[in-house]
Structure 1
């Protein structure tokens, strides 16, 4: 039995069970943990198979490619599904302590499973139209999660979120329609094979359209403002899930499309990506510097860190692509963890505003340590995972002669450290203000249930930093697969990838 379909089927099945247990709260909560744990186990099984046997392909309904729908797992897809399972399990555990009955009654857990199923489907599909379908599944689930509670700030953020993402979806769908009219197929391996034989200006237009569509999904400059306007508004578990996974699906799609469908693209598309990466880094970190609300700072830093991933793709050298992929893995874990920690702070002090916080280093030193690990990793301090991620990308920039954007990347790293130090000083180091927002003291069981997933993700960050070799080797092999698209084409179509 192949585990290829399980990362998609398990969340969808768990979500269906949650709907059946609509009025039975303990069952919904148990299904959330078991379902996300099952997703993680299935993803690890898939990764082991792909690493051992190469690219795995499942032709749905036994229809041969390119006529049917293909599920494809190369190393990149398998790695991303493993990280999806890890973040899903962490958020599910955290949600047990933070999600109220009201949100659960409006479908929090079924929507969480639907979102995870959409993310896994996007990572494993081998069909460009089904990639669009999975994007829409994510959009529906994320919009519903974003509006749970129906508070004014949530609705304002949701309107911006859905408007820009609908623009992305329309651009994506039009590009898919034009692409189908040009090559007569929707299977990505078959599209790549046929595009390699074409010399048409429409191919260049399609490359730009996909860049715009996925750039919006990834929150790249200039259409990124939907993210910091919305990610700080929902319940913190939802923020962590969004911060870890949603924008990375857009980044993944950019890597997939520009290594498989448009590997022989004109130089100007990567020139645009290079400028976009630099401006995404700068605007994101500058936005974070002027914020004084915990989650808004973290939201702007999602934007700035996306720039490093795009830089790896824009440079398009083996080392740069490796660095971009390593950065994706590191950032998903670190950013989700920082949002989880912000929720613990809010639970203890009743506010996300930095001026209303303080003194947590003295009262909860363990929380200060949990914050410092992902915060310093985000800034690129050794020996944490972020140091190696930034080092690889910056080294690739220097080797490629892109000195200007490399200088920007170094500057953004320093400014990121400044933002993290600001949070540390305001939330943990300074004395607690005399007047604080009231927060009911959490029980020890509730507090440790919130701390457990944060500690687990912090441990992952430490392990990646202290034992970077295994992940480096895995990501290096993944980058080699991406830069040799003929392997993907041969695995899916059963023929050599040459035109």
Structure 2
């Protein structure tokens, strides 16, 4: 238990249920994030201290999460229940391979973005609450990944919303306020649907503990549980920006500074996708089966419409937002065919997207700094001025499209295998799986077209689209000292993506092991302490 109490004062059952001290790494990342955010609020007037403190806190979180992931890989899922209340009544934090890996990836991305964010920050901004808000956002994301309770998932969503509202309006420009309204309204609506689903779920089952729901849900009314699952699909689909409830993302993610856009793209939509994976595949698999045709249609539509939107878009960061949406379709495809391969592919794609979508927004911010424009039609000539930025941009586009040997290829390979298996052995042979495979391939081709179009406008063309051939070459702004720091951070993150793609065995093996605990969550239930309990 989280509260130290003399064992002589506790019942024998509670003594046996106490969490070993070594397992406290499951709660320390959240504690560090919340306490670090509070501490940074008190020292925001300092010049350089907030960045150093924020990085120190994030590195402490990374150390805890590396320890947690290694523990989970060695011994299976780990659970910790707060206070003296045994599961399912106490607040549980439960980590399996996917949740621990996603939390670690989120912390690594946050550390890199904190360094990159210096590109957008001047001396006048040193006394703001940016770093505190970033740590609060990371605490919310980490809590959402590690919670073992659906109601507390709702709580961590609220923590994320509070922090993201603060970050999206940093700078106070009118376009940011407009983006915040669109972002806030749709996310509040999603939260309302989620809370409604929780109320119905508790009324039907009398519990919101995930492990407990896995035990008692099969005995509940199938029609009522399908309604709850549909509400969860709608709520998490809105959070993840799946079609047709995706319009808020390209309308808002381009409005804040590029560092904030990168953080949002890497973390927020992935939490929504993870919530779908956890709630619909692991917690309510029977209800998910009833929704499979709907989920397949959503996946196919999102896979195709996302990159089509990127092709039609001229604003660089709005186009990247549509590429992010297309990636959500890839995850939905895995959820539509929840075999071991499908779940492994969906989970590995979430891990890949944590890094790749963040890096895409980071390189977009560098391009905007160099060209002084946000519209790709007003850019150009950057290849001659900075070949390295053009190479990084191209690598990230190829990774997002799933071209080998980059990291994005391997989850799509798993999903293609799952699709062919679904077509051969699924309930609709030759239909669902094959159509999903075709949609995945179409998504890859359209993403390449969108990325090539952007690359041509930004790097290959000599100047703005309306420039005459006789015009002198445009002068591009050089990267200053802060800009070079941002470039270095982007290069490091891109290098991680390339290395992971060239050496995929650890992540591929980890994804397969993690998928086993989603498809058959017996070890998850046992870790919480509910195995063998009578429903």
Match of 2:496 among 442, 447, 460: 460
Instruction: After TM superposition, list the pairs within 5 Å mapping 1:169-318 onto structure 2.
Output: 169-265=191-287, 267-318=289-340
Deviation at 1:95, TM superposition (A): 1.3
TM-score of the superposition, structure 2-length normalised?
Answer: 0.90
SS at match of 1:299: helix
Match of 1:493 in 2: 529
Q: 2:463–2:474: 8 Å Cα contact kept in structure 1?
A: no
Match of 1:19 in 2: 41
Determine if the alignment matches structure 1 residue 469 to structure 2 residue 515.
no
Q: 2:76–2:523: 8 Å Cα contact kept in structure 1?
A: no
Give, in whole Å, the separation in 2 of the partners of 1:106 and 1:287. 35
Instruction: After TM superposition, list the pairs within 5 Å mapping 1:64-83 onto structure 2.
Output: 64-83=86-105
SS at match of 1:264: helix
SS at match of 1:18: helix
Deviation at 1:462, TM superposition (A): 1.0
Instruction: After TM superposition, list the pairs within 5 Å mapping 1:401-420 onto structure 2.
Output: 401=423, 402-420=433-451
Q: 2:410–2:508: 8 Å Cα contact kept in structure 1?
A: no
Give, in whole Å, the separation in 1 of the partners of 2:359 and 2:533. 40
Match of 2:410 among 383, 388, 401: 388
SS at match of 2:327: helix
SS at match of 2:243: coil
Give, in whole Å, the separation in 1 of the partners of 2:282 and 2:445. 35
Q: 1:358–1:430: 8 Å Cα contact kept in structure 2?
A: yes
Instruction: After TM superposition, list the pairs within 5 Å mapping 1:112-151 onto structure 2.
Output: 112-151=134-173
Match of 1:159 in 2: 181
Determine if the alignment matches structure 1 residue 442 to structure 2 residue 442.
no
Give, in whole Å, the separation in 1 of the partners of 2:482 and 2:250. 29
After superposition, give the CA deviation of every residue in 1:293-321 in whole Å (9 maximum; x if it has no partner): 11011001111110000100111111111
Give, in whole Å, the separation in 1 of the partners of 2:139 and 2:373. 32
Determine if the alignment matches structure 1 residue 46 to structure 2 residue 82.
no
Deviation at 1:438, TM superposition (A): 8.1
Deviation at 1:233, TM superposition (A): 0.4
SS at match of 1:265: helix
Cα gap change, 1:266 to 1:328, in 2 (>3 Å)? closer
Give, in whole Å, the separation in 2 of the partners of 1:176 and 1:436. 59
Match of 1:373 in 2: 395
After superposition, give the CA deviation of every residue in 1:231-278 in whole Å (9 maximum; x if it has no partner): 000010000000011001000000101123211226331111110001
Instruction: Say which is worse superposed, 53-62 or 333-342, in terms of deviation.
Output: 53-62
Deviation at 1:105, TM superposition (A): 3.7
Q: 1:220–1:303: 8 Å Cα contact kept in structure 2?
A: yes
Give, in whole Å, the separation in 2 of the partners of 1:410 and 1:47. 33
**Larger gyration radius, structure 1 or structure 2:** 2
Match of 1:10 in 2: 32
Q: 1:487–1:497: 8 Å Cα contact kept in structure 2?
A: no
Determine if the alignment matches structure 1 residue 60 to structure 2 residue 91.
no
Instruction: Say which is worse superposed, 352-361 or 131-140, in terms of deviation.
Output: 352-361
Cα gap change, 1:101 to 1:181, in 2 (>3 Å)? farther
Deviation at 1:98, TM superposition (A): 2.0
After superposition, give the CA deviation of every residue in 1:383-439 in whole Å (9 maximum; x if it has no partner): 111122222212211221122222122111111001111121111122134589987
Give, in whole Å, the separation in 1 of the partners of 2:45 and 2:522. 51
After superposition, give the CA deviation of every residue in 1:433-472 in whole Å (9 maximum; x if it has no partner): 45899875432x3232112221111111111211111110
Instruction: Say which is worse superposed, 26-35 or 288-297, in terms of deviation.
Output: 26-35
Cα gap change, 1:187 to 1:437, in 2 (>3 Å)? farther
Q: Give unmatched runs, 5+ long, in structure 2.
A: 1-20, 424-432, 465-470
Deviation at 1:158, TM superposition (A): 1.1
Give, in whole Å, the separation in 2 of the partners of 1:224 and 1:127. 26
Cα gap change, 1:217 to 1:437, in 2 (>3 Å)? farther
Q: 1:106–1:148: 8 Å Cα contact kept in structure 2?
A: no
Q: 2:72–2:78: 8 Å Cα contact kept in structure 1?
A: yes
Cα gap change, 1:88 to 1:109, in 2 (>3 Å)? same
Give, in whole Å, the separation in 1 of the partners of 2:315 and 2:520. 44
Give, in whole Å, the separation in 2 of the partners of 1:104 and 1:58. 38
Give, in whole Å, the separation in 2 of the partners of 1:437 and 1:480. 55
TM-score of the superposition, structure 1-length normalised?
Answer: 0.96
Cα gap change, 1:364 to 1:85, in 2 (>3 Å)? same
After superposition, give the CA deviation of every residue in 1:35-78 in whole Å (9 maximum; x if it has no partner): 22222222111111111121111111243111210111111110
Give, in whole Å, the separation in 2 of the partners of 1:268 and 1:5. 35
SS at match of 1:196: helix
Deviation at 1:498, TM superposition (A): 7.8
Give, in whole Å, the separation in 2 of the partners of 1:430 and 1:255. 42
Coordinate RMSD, CA, aligned: 1.7
Instruction: Say which is worse superposed, 38-47 or 474-483, in terms of deviation.
Output: 38-47
Match of 1:451 among 464, 487, 490: 487
Q: 1:356–1:435: 8 Å Cα contact kept in structure 2?
A: no
SS at match of 2:285: coil
